[in-house]
Amino acid sequence: MQLLDGKKTAEDIKNEIAAEVQSIKDAGGKVPHLAAVIVGTNGASLTYVGSKVKSCQQIGFDSTLVSLPEDITEDELLAKIKELNEDDDLDGYIVQLPLPKHIDEQKILLAIDPDKDVDGFHPTNFGKMALEMESFIPATPFGIMQLLERYKVETAGKHTVVIGRSNIVGRPMSILMSRKGNPGDSTVTLTHSRTKNLAEFTKNADIIITALGVPEFLKADMVKDGVVVIDVGITRVDDASNPKGYVIKGDVDFNEVSKKSSFITPVPGGVGPMTIAMLLKNTLLARKMRSAKK
Protein backbone atom coordinates (compact mmCIF):
# COMPACT_ATOMS: atom_id res chain seq x y z
CA MET A 1 0.00 0.00 0.00
CA GLN A 2 1.29 3.42 -0.94
CA LEU A 3 -0.13 6.56 0.56
CA LEU A 4 -1.04 9.33 -1.87
CA ASP A 5 0.29 12.11 0.32
CA GLY A 6 -1.73 15.21 -0.56
CA LYS A 7 -0.21 17.31 2.15
CA LYS A 8 3.33 16.79 0.88
CA THR A 9 2.39 17.02 -2.81
CA ALA A 10 0.49 20.25 -2.14
CA GLU A 11 3.60 21.67 -0.46
CA ASP A 12 5.70 20.68 -3.51
CA ILE A 13 3.23 22.41 -5.84
CA LYS A 14 3.11 25.52 -3.67
CA ASN A 15 6.91 25.67 -3.72
CA GLU A 16 6.88 25.41 -7.52
CA ILE A 17 4.34 28.25 -7.69
CA ALA A 18 6.34 30.36 -5.21
CA ALA A 19 9.41 30.01 -7.45
CA GLU A 20 7.37 31.23 -10.43
CA VAL A 21 6.05 34.16 -8.41
CA GLN A 22 9.63 35.06 -7.53
CA SER A 23 10.65 35.08 -11.19
CA ILE A 24 7.62 37.25 -12.06
CA LYS A 25 8.76 39.67 -9.34
CA ASP A 26 12.37 39.57 -10.55
CA ALA A 27 11.17 40.52 -14.03
CA GLY A 28 9.24 43.46 -12.55
CA GLY A 29 5.85 41.87 -13.25
CA LYS A 30 2.63 41.83 -11.28
CA VAL A 31 2.06 38.95 -8.84
CA PRO A 32 -1.21 36.97 -9.02
CA HIS A 33 -4.11 38.31 -6.99
CA LEU A 34 -6.84 35.96 -5.70
CA ALA A 35 -10.04 36.94 -3.90
CA ALA A 36 -12.54 34.79 -2.01
CA VAL A 37 -16.12 35.84 -1.40
CA ILE A 38 -17.72 34.33 1.67
CA VAL A 39 -21.35 34.92 2.59
CA GLY A 40 -22.25 34.35 6.23
CA THR A 41 -20.22 32.21 8.61
CA ASN A 42 -19.92 28.45 8.53
CA GLY A 43 -17.16 26.74 10.50
CA ALA A 44 -15.89 24.51 7.72
CA SER A 45 -16.11 27.32 5.14
CA LEU A 46 -14.09 29.62 7.37
CA THR A 47 -11.40 26.95 7.82
CA TYR A 48 -11.10 26.53 4.07
CA VAL A 49 -11.00 30.26 3.31
CA GLY A 50 -8.54 30.78 6.16
CA SER A 51 -6.04 28.25 4.81
CA LYS A 52 -6.41 29.79 1.35
CA VAL A 53 -5.42 33.24 2.65
CA LYS A 54 -2.51 31.71 4.57
CA SER A 55 -1.29 29.87 1.45
CA CYS A 56 -1.45 33.08 -0.61
CA GLN A 57 0.83 34.80 1.89
CA GLN A 58 3.16 31.79 1.92
CA ILE A 59 3.73 31.86 -1.85
CA GLY A 60 3.67 35.61 -2.47
CA PHE A 61 0.22 36.12 -4.02
CA ASP A 62 -1.92 39.14 -3.20
CA SER A 63 -5.18 38.03 -1.60
CA THR A 64 -8.46 39.65 -0.67
CA LEU A 65 -11.16 38.27 1.58
CA VAL A 66 -14.62 39.63 0.80
CA SER A 67 -16.79 38.84 3.81
CA LEU A 68 -20.49 39.52 3.31
CA PRO A 69 -23.43 39.24 5.74
CA GLU A 70 -25.70 36.17 5.68
CA ASP A 71 -28.73 38.35 4.85
CA ILE A 72 -27.20 40.04 1.78
CA THR A 73 -29.66 40.17 -1.15
CA GLU A 74 -29.02 38.45 -4.46
CA ASP A 75 -28.84 41.84 -6.21
CA GLU A 76 -26.27 43.12 -3.74
CA LEU A 77 -24.14 40.02 -4.26
CA LEU A 78 -24.47 40.36 -8.05
CA ALA A 79 -23.30 44.00 -7.74
CA LYS A 80 -20.25 42.83 -5.79
CA ILE A 81 -19.49 40.27 -8.49
CA LYS A 82 -19.71 42.91 -11.18
CA GLU A 83 -17.21 44.94 -9.20
CA LEU A 84 -14.79 41.99 -8.97
CA ASN A 85 -15.18 41.28 -12.71
CA GLU A 86 -14.21 44.88 -13.47
CA ASP A 87 -11.37 45.11 -10.94
CA ASP A 88 -8.31 45.18 -13.18
CA ASP A 89 -5.95 44.33 -10.33
CA LEU A 90 -7.76 41.07 -9.58
CA ASP A 91 -6.80 37.93 -11.55
CA GLY A 92 -9.23 35.40 -10.14
CA TYR A 93 -11.80 34.83 -7.44
CA ILE A 94 -14.07 32.22 -5.97
CA VAL A 95 -17.49 32.50 -4.39
CA GLN A 96 -17.51 30.07 -1.52
CA LEU A 97 -20.34 27.51 -1.73
CA PRO A 98 -22.91 26.71 -0.46
CA LEU A 99 -24.67 30.08 -0.54
CA PRO A 100 -27.64 30.92 1.72
CA LYS A 101 -30.93 29.46 0.44
CA HIS A 102 -32.42 32.81 -0.60
CA ILE A 103 -29.67 33.23 -3.22
CA ASP A 104 -29.81 31.45 -6.58
CA GLU A 105 -26.42 29.76 -6.88
CA GLN A 106 -26.69 29.22 -10.66
CA LYS A 107 -27.36 32.89 -11.24
CA ILE A 108 -24.30 33.85 -9.20
CA LEU A 109 -21.97 31.38 -10.94
CA LEU A 110 -23.18 32.59 -14.35
CA ALA A 111 -22.28 36.18 -13.40
CA ILE A 112 -18.62 35.36 -12.75
CA ASP A 113 -16.30 36.36 -15.61
CA PRO A 114 -15.13 32.98 -17.00
CA ASP A 115 -11.59 34.39 -17.32
CA LYS A 116 -11.55 35.01 -13.54
CA ASP A 117 -13.40 31.80 -12.63
CA VAL A 118 -10.50 29.97 -10.97
CA ASP A 119 -12.96 27.46 -9.47
CA GLY A 120 -13.89 26.39 -13.00
CA PHE A 121 -17.60 26.36 -12.09
CA HIS A 122 -18.90 28.63 -14.88
CA PRO A 123 -20.70 26.69 -17.67
CA THR A 124 -18.17 28.06 -20.18
CA ASN A 125 -15.28 26.48 -18.31
CA PHE A 126 -17.23 23.31 -17.54
CA GLY A 127 -18.07 22.99 -21.25
CA LYS A 128 -14.48 23.56 -22.29
CA MET A 129 -13.36 20.89 -19.84
CA ALA A 130 -15.84 18.40 -21.32
CA LEU A 131 -14.68 19.26 -24.85
CA GLU A 132 -11.02 18.76 -23.88
CA MET A 133 -10.22 22.43 -24.48
CA GLU A 134 -7.91 24.44 -22.24
CA SER A 135 -9.83 25.85 -19.26
CA PHE A 136 -9.81 26.20 -15.51
CA ILE A 137 -10.32 22.72 -14.07
CA PRO A 138 -12.24 22.68 -10.75
CA ALA A 139 -9.66 22.58 -7.96
CA THR A 140 -10.61 19.30 -6.28
CA PRO A 141 -10.76 17.19 -9.47
CA PHE A 142 -7.60 18.96 -10.70
CA GLY A 143 -5.88 18.03 -7.42
CA ILE A 144 -6.89 14.39 -7.81
CA MET A 145 -5.52 14.32 -11.39
CA GLN A 146 -2.23 15.78 -10.08
CA LEU A 147 -1.95 13.10 -7.39
CA LEU A 148 -2.54 10.35 -9.97
CA GLU A 149 0.03 11.92 -12.29
CA ARG A 150 2.75 12.57 -9.73
CA TYR A 151 2.47 9.10 -8.18
CA LYS A 152 2.37 7.56 -11.69
CA VAL A 153 -0.87 5.71 -11.02
CA GLU A 154 -1.90 3.89 -14.19
CA THR A 155 -5.34 4.98 -15.40
CA ALA A 156 -5.46 4.08 -19.12
CA GLY A 157 -7.94 1.28 -19.78
CA LYS A 158 -8.72 0.98 -16.07
CA HIS A 159 -12.26 0.89 -14.72
CA THR A 160 -12.85 4.00 -12.62
CA VAL A 161 -15.93 4.16 -10.42
CA VAL A 162 -16.92 7.61 -9.17
CA ILE A 163 -19.38 7.77 -6.28
CA GLY A 164 -21.37 11.02 -6.23
CA ARG A 165 -22.51 13.27 -9.09
CA SER A 166 -22.00 16.76 -7.64
CA ASN A 167 -21.18 19.61 -10.00
CA ILE A 168 -17.94 20.35 -8.18
CA VAL A 169 -16.44 16.87 -7.72
CA GLY A 170 -18.20 13.74 -8.98
CA ARG A 171 -19.36 14.82 -12.41
CA PRO A 172 -16.23 16.74 -13.42
CA MET A 173 -14.12 13.85 -12.10
CA SER A 174 -16.01 11.40 -14.31
CA ILE A 175 -15.36 13.64 -17.32
CA LEU A 176 -11.66 14.13 -16.58
CA MET A 177 -10.98 10.42 -16.11
CA SER A 178 -12.65 9.65 -19.42
CA ARG A 179 -10.74 12.34 -21.34
CA LYS A 180 -7.86 11.40 -23.58
CA GLY A 181 -4.39 11.53 -22.03
CA ASN A 182 -2.54 10.63 -18.87
CA PRO A 183 -4.06 10.59 -16.35
CA GLY A 184 -7.27 9.73 -18.15
CA ASP A 185 -8.23 7.19 -20.84
CA SER A 186 -10.21 5.41 -18.16
CA THR A 187 -13.51 3.58 -18.55
CA VAL A 188 -15.78 5.45 -16.18
CA THR A 189 -18.91 4.55 -14.24
CA LEU A 190 -20.58 7.47 -12.46
CA THR A 191 -22.66 6.18 -9.55
CA HIS A 192 -24.97 8.14 -7.25
CA SER A 193 -27.79 7.94 -4.72
CA ARG A 194 -30.13 6.18 -7.19
CA THR A 195 -27.59 3.54 -8.21
CA LYS A 196 -28.70 -0.02 -7.47
CA ASN A 197 -26.25 -2.58 -6.09
CA LEU A 198 -23.41 -0.08 -5.74
CA ALA A 199 -21.05 -2.73 -4.34
CA GLU A 200 -21.32 -4.66 -7.63
CA PHE A 201 -19.67 -1.67 -9.30
CA THR A 202 -17.09 -0.92 -6.61
CA LYS A 203 -16.02 -4.58 -6.37
CA ASN A 204 -15.14 -4.44 -10.07
CA ALA A 205 -13.36 -1.09 -9.91
CA ASP A 206 -9.64 -0.57 -10.44
CA ILE A 207 -9.96 3.00 -9.19
CA ILE A 208 -12.64 4.31 -6.79
CA ILE A 209 -13.23 8.02 -6.22
CA THR A 210 -15.70 8.72 -3.41
CA ALA A 211 -17.30 12.15 -3.02
CA LEU A 212 -20.25 11.36 -0.84
CA GLY A 213 -19.87 12.90 2.61
CA VAL A 214 -20.86 9.76 4.50
CA PRO A 215 -18.16 8.86 7.05
CA GLU A 216 -16.56 5.42 6.51
CA PHE A 217 -19.10 4.45 3.87
CA LEU A 218 -16.71 2.40 1.73
CA LYS A 219 -15.86 -0.89 3.48
CA ALA A 220 -13.23 -3.51 2.72
CA ASP A 221 -15.79 -6.04 1.43
CA MET A 222 -16.82 -3.54 -1.28
CA VAL A 223 -13.41 -3.42 -2.99
CA LYS A 224 -11.05 -5.80 -4.74
CA ASP A 225 -7.38 -6.38 -3.98
CA GLY A 226 -5.02 -3.81 -5.47
CA VAL A 227 -7.66 -1.09 -5.78
CA VAL A 228 -6.72 2.61 -5.96
CA VAL A 229 -8.87 4.66 -3.57
CA ILE A 230 -9.33 8.44 -3.67
CA ASP A 231 -11.34 9.73 -0.69
CA VAL A 232 -12.86 13.17 -1.25
CA GLY A 233 -15.14 13.01 1.80
CA ILE A 234 -14.47 15.41 4.65
CA THR A 235 -17.09 15.29 7.39
CA ARG A 236 -16.69 16.79 10.82
CA VAL A 237 -17.82 14.30 13.43
CA ASP A 238 -18.31 15.49 17.03
CA ASP A 239 -15.68 14.06 19.35
CA ALA A 240 -15.45 15.39 22.90
CA SER A 241 -12.08 13.69 23.46
CA ASN A 242 -10.51 15.84 20.70
CA PRO A 243 -9.30 19.35 21.68
CA LYS A 244 -11.09 20.79 18.61
CA GLY A 245 -14.34 19.07 19.66
CA TYR A 246 -14.50 17.16 16.35
CA VAL A 247 -12.53 14.81 14.15
CA ILE A 248 -12.46 14.78 10.35
CA LYS A 249 -13.69 11.59 8.70
CA GLY A 250 -13.47 10.54 5.07
CA ASP A 251 -15.89 8.39 3.08
CA VAL A 252 -13.57 5.39 3.41
CA ASP A 253 -13.02 2.96 6.28
CA PHE A 254 -9.29 3.64 5.94
CA ASN A 255 -7.92 1.05 8.38
CA GLU A 256 -9.58 -1.87 6.60
CA VAL A 257 -9.68 -0.65 2.98
CA SER A 258 -6.01 0.42 3.01
CA LYS A 259 -5.00 -3.23 3.58
CA LYS A 260 -6.44 -4.13 0.15
CA SER A 261 -5.31 -0.96 -1.68
CA SER A 262 -2.35 -0.36 -3.96
CA PHE A 263 -2.72 3.42 -3.48
CA ILE A 264 -4.97 5.34 -1.10
CA THR A 265 -5.44 8.95 0.04
CA PRO A 266 -5.67 9.70 3.77
CA VAL A 267 -8.20 12.10 5.34
CA PRO A 268 -7.10 14.62 6.43
CA GLY A 269 -3.94 15.27 4.42
CA GLY A 270 -5.13 13.83 1.10
CA VAL A 271 -7.37 15.55 -1.41
CA GLY A 272 -8.15 18.59 0.83
CA PRO A 273 -4.71 20.25 0.74
CA MET A 274 -4.47 19.50 -3.01
CA THR A 275 -7.66 21.51 -3.58
CA ILE A 276 -6.02 24.61 -2.18
CA ALA A 277 -2.79 24.08 -4.14
CA MET A 278 -4.70 23.74 -7.43
CA LEU A 279 -6.77 26.84 -6.76
CA LEU A 280 -3.46 28.71 -6.50
CA LYS A 281 -2.25 27.02 -9.69
CA ASN A 282 -5.41 28.20 -11.51
CA THR A 283 -4.85 31.73 -10.20
CA LEU A 284 -1.29 31.73 -11.54
CA LEU A 285 -2.69 30.55 -14.88
CA ALA A 286 -5.28 33.36 -14.79
CA ARG A 287 -2.52 35.93 -14.19
CA LYS A 288 -0.48 34.57 -17.12
CA MET A 289 -3.50 34.61 -19.44
CA ARG A 290 -4.36 38.17 -18.47
CA SER A 291 -0.82 39.45 -18.90
CA ALA A 292 -0.58 37.75 -22.32
CA LYS A 293 -3.78 39.54 -23.40
CA LYS A 294 -2.35 43.01 -22.81
Catalytic residues: 52, 96, 119
Name the residue nearer to ligand GUE (CB basis): 212 or 234. 234
CA atoms within 13 A on the CB side of 28: 0
Q: Is 276 in the site for ligand GUE (CB under 6 A)?
A: yes
Q: Is 112 in the site for ligand GUE (CB under 6 A)?
A: no
Binding track, positions 24-63, relative to ligand GUE; x by CB under 6 A: ---------------------x-xx--x------------
Q: Could you tell me if residue 110 is left (phi over 0), alpha (psi between -120 and 50 degrees) or otherwise beta? A: alpha
DSSP result, 154-209: --TT-EEEEE---TTTHHHHHHHHHSSSSS---EEEEE-TT-SSHHHHHTT-SEEE
Q: Is 285 in the site for ligand GUE (CB under 6 A)?
A: no
Q: Which is nearest to 111 in space by CA: 119, 122, 102?
A: 122
Contact positions with ligand GUE (CB under 6 A) in 118-147: 119, 139
Instruction: State the sign of the Cα–Cα–Cα–Cα dihedral 39, 42, 44, 47.
Output: positive
Name the residue nearer to ligand GUE (CB basis): 58 or 189. 58
Cα(223)–Cα(96) distance, integer angstroms: 34
Binding track, positions 231-270, relative to ligand GUE; x by CB under 6 A: ---x-------------x------------------xxx-
Query: How far, rounded to the nearest angstrom, does the alpha carbon of residue 133 sit from its chain's CA centroid?
Result: 19
Q: Is 92 in the site for ligand GUE (CB under 6 A)?
A: no
Binding site for ligand GUE (CB under 6 A): 45, 47-48, 51, 94-97, 119, 139, 234, 248, 267-269, 272-273, 275-276
